[in-house]
Structure 1
């Protein structure tokens, strides 16, 4: 509330041009504005869960019931550490809902939509169990919170089953009738597809490559091992590191006749190592025992 504006709106018209009277009337409202309203606004900003960070968010957590931040193993550090601000916000929202919800089916569904900021449904198993169903992928951190930290409010004695993700459209026509062959869900529990791909190309004496993956997978600072197989069947290895975009390159200096593959190990959001290997690049192509063209150059014919 703007106390000054409130007072000015109530001054009689004949006193509108009396500056000393107006200044006198605004004395107390000005003090109230500075010492009450502005301080309340600061407190409100401090306790804004969506915008609070660091220690301010810890204060919100203590009010909701968390004496300190929970500790867990989360990507990308994959080491035991306190949860990030983003995940802690969701845990605080969950705690608030648990403290105030009567945990009906509608309440639980509303809580999930609010806590996880996504569309969700609740399946009542009719056997004292319920199962969350999501229609889009959640980040791995949120999936782990749902699976391991009892994030979803639930009635006493009711078990929360593993979540399911329905991103397919299994009924109806689609390209090449593919929708009729689509599975109904991706499987129970935490789901994530890395879609790792490692590619190599050779041009103008330069070997370059790229490591690509699904959103959420860190492809920077990944060790790449290049394995060259020379014409005498001996092997030479070279190690590179990807840049911020997952790119890497090196000048070729192992001769003209060789094949090369690239290999890497990538830490996934599940905190598991996944191996990825490129296709083999051949610098000389043989046909009936004879070299037909040098693979270092583009050939059409």
Structure 2
């Protein structure tokens, strides 16, 4: 029988509570400050001493976000690119992870090492060759110019996440499916993927967030205004000598909404995927 966990003393409980409070405040304070800034006026923002709370809620900044720049178009571009790159990455990563976790592949450890090594490449080191490639195939200022690199750069994380989950699923379940006439692909789609739902959701969210937040490739590959993404569009509100921080803060808050919604909707599966994947890997 497992021994009961030792009871914490009052100082220990107090210390853990304070550490948790500090962690929560440190994690949420930047977003809360951005949210408060987005409903302030320029005058309130420049007051000294600092005025932490706005005198009144100024939602005009949110309206100006869409009138000064085609932010709705930026939002649509980011959503399209992020969704399609996520789908493409998962479609490619799932069979790759299945092969690495199930098939007797010679040099499997080396392949996983290469996957990890590729994930460490900084994007800036790949900018020039990727730009020349996209220009050579005439994909600049198009959705594929971002979808293809985003999916490729996210593959290592997606593969490693899915390998951890696929390896934990008993092989007997697939063997039973194949005895009933299912193919390897059928076993993957009908048995392995449904049982690995938390891992699939985790991998998909990681790919989506990376694609949504990416800035360098979006700035370099899509230079037309109507093809800009949210991450680049937020920077277009500042002028040569003016930095309208309330307006920029409002744009940042709007850009954060999809990520907040996704995490809220898939929170349980995402947390389960992160914890279980970390243990099973």
Same fold per TM (> 0.5)?
A: no
Give the number of the structure whose residues are more often strand, by fraction: 1
TM-score bin, normalised by smaller chain? under 0.3
- Asked which structure has the greater RCO (Cα within 8 Å, sep 6+), the reply is 2
Give 1 or 2 for the bigger CA radius of gyration. 1
- Structure 2 length as normaliser, TM-score? 0.22
- Structure 1 length as normaliser, TM-score? 0.20
Give the number of the structure whose residues are more often helix, by fraction: 2
